[in-house]
């Protein structure tokens, strides 16, 4: 009989022991975050402030999204944020970082990293009541947060670029804009409400770019005053200044390279030569992320202008990439040979 009572008591106390252990773990989980009274962009914590032992808190965190499960190329983790104590719930506000969003934009980016902004509500014992991803930041995403007019929560205005390739060209990109309100209710549920219907918005980035005059363009190059031509025509005119190509679009078409996104090209101004009817500018063009293939490459270009400053044509004197096996001495010889053939026609 005594043994039966002991077994019965153990059976009754076992769930209570589990609840107490869970509550202690939940309190430890809360100690990772800062206690606050409201929600704003700061409440979600600092970038890369990772929770070190996420497995320890697996009972209190949402599972990994299906598209990330088993993907060895993606690392992710939860970041420390803040928490709010309500009357009947506790809300934790934090970020989830991904090294690659797997959102279809990886082909444009070597590192497509980003962050989800998440609100999770719990009972006092740590049982999850609700969870909402309220926003996202990253290369293709931007957001703004503000307080709702009524209640405790956050208003999120989210922008998502429709076609990320627009960000790699000299154009004004088109975004889809969402505006939603998230309010914490007394029962711990997170009420989501659409404030503005999704709509398109063109972000004007090009109007702020001042276009060069031809004289300004010319000032980026150093005049060649030697009686011969060789590979040293491609000596950079400055140790640090690249050619701000977006400021040259009124002078030079941005279609000089079909296999590299315009904004991913580094234009290095070198020397220029003045002839009877033209000006020849020597430019080194480095492409970091080609549209086709993965090997970065470099082209040595001659850009020809009429004397009135209008663009005439471009010639690719020499091309090299990661697969090239030509040593620097041989490359210099090939560049010199091509220049002589080009300029002494």
pLDDT of residue 127: 95
- Give how far the C-alpha of residue 160 lies from the chain's centroid of Cα atoms, to the nearest Å: 12
List the single range of 128-132, 238-242, 283-287, 308-312 with lowest mean pLDDT. Answer: 238-242
* Band of pLDDT at residue 5, cut at 50, 70 and 90: very low
Strand partners, 299: 285, 319
Residue 184 lies in a domain: yes
Total of domains in the chain:
2
Is residue 158 domain-shared with residue 218, that is, in the same domain?
no
241: containing domain? 214-343
Residue 96 has pLDDT above 60, yes or no: yes
Nearest 5°: CA angle at 64, between 134 and 69? 135
Residue 180 has pLDDT above 80, yes or no: yes
Closest-CA residue to 139 (of 264, 285, 244): 264
DSSP three-state, residue 174: strand
Is residue 198 domain-shared with residue 230, that is, in the same domain?
no
- The predicted-structure confidence for 186-212, as pLDDT tens digits, reads as follows 999 999 999 999 999 999 999 999 999
- The predicted-structure confidence for 101-110, as pLDDT tens digits, reads as follows 888 888 888 7
Residue 285 has pLDDT above 90, yes or no: yes
Alpha-carbon gap, residue 84 to 103, rounded angstroms: 31
- Answer whether 162's CB lies under 8 Å from 175's CB: yes
Residue 68 lies in a domain: yes
Is residue 50 domain-shared with residue 174, that is, in the same domain?
yes
Is residue 219 domain-shared with residue 271, that is, in the same domain?
yes
Report the percent of the chain where pLDDT is more than 90.
Answer: 68
Residue 63 lies in a domain: yes
* Band of pLDDT at residue 231, cut at 50, 70 and 90: very high
Where in 34-122 does DSSP place strands (E)?
34-35, 76-85, 90-98, 114-122
Residue 70 lies in a domain: yes
Is residue 194 domain-shared with residue 53, that is, in the same domain?
yes
pLDDT of residue 108: 82
Is residue 196 domain-shared with residue 243, that is, in the same domain?
no
Position with higher pLDDT, 74 vs 153: 153
In whole numbers, what is the pLDDT of the chain averaged over residues?
88
């Amino acid at each position: 009989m005594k043994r039966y009572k002991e077994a019965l008591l153990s059976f009754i106390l076992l769930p209570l022991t589990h609840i107490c252990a869970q509550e202690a773990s939940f309190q430890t989980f809360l100690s990772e975050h800062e206690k606050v009274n409201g929600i704003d962009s700061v409440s979600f914590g600092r970038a890369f402030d990772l929770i070190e032992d996420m497995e320890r808190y697996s009972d209190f965190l949402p599972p990994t999204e299906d598209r990330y499960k088993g993907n060895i190329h993606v690392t992710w983790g939860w970041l420390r944020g803040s928490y709010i104590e309500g009357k009947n719930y506790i809300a934790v506000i934090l970020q989830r970082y991904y090294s690659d969003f797997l959102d279809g934009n990886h082909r444009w980016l070597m590192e497509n990293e980003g962050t989800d902004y998440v609100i999770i509500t719990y009972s006092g014992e740590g049982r999850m009541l609700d969870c909402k991803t309220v926003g996202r930041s990253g290369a293709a995403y931007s957001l703004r947060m503000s307080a709702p007019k009524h209640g405790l929560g956050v208003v999120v205005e989210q922008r998502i670029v429709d076609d990320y390739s627009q960000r790699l060209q000299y154009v004004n990109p088109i975004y889809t804009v969402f505006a939603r309100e998230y309010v914490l209710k007394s029962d711990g549920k997170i009420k989501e409400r659409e404030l503005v219907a999704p709509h398109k918005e063109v972000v004007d980035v090009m109007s702020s770019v001042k276009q060069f005059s031809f004289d300004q363009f010319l000032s980026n190059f150093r005049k060649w005053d030697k009686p011969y031509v060789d590979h040293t025509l491609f000596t950079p005119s400055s140790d640090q200044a690249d050619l701000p190509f977006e400021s040259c679009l009124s002078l030079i078409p941005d279609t000089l390279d079909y296999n590299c996104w315009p904004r991913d090209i580094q234009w290095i101004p070198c020397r220029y030569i003045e002839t009877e009817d033209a000006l020849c500018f020597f430019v080194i063009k480095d492409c970091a992320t080609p549209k086709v293939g993965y090997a970065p490459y470099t082209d040595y270009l001659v850009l020809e202008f009429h004397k009135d400053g209008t663009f005439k044509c471009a010639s690719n004197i020499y091309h090299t990439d990661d697969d090239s096996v030509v040593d620097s001495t041989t490359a210099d010889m090939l560049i010199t040979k091509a220049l002589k053939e080009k300029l002494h026609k």
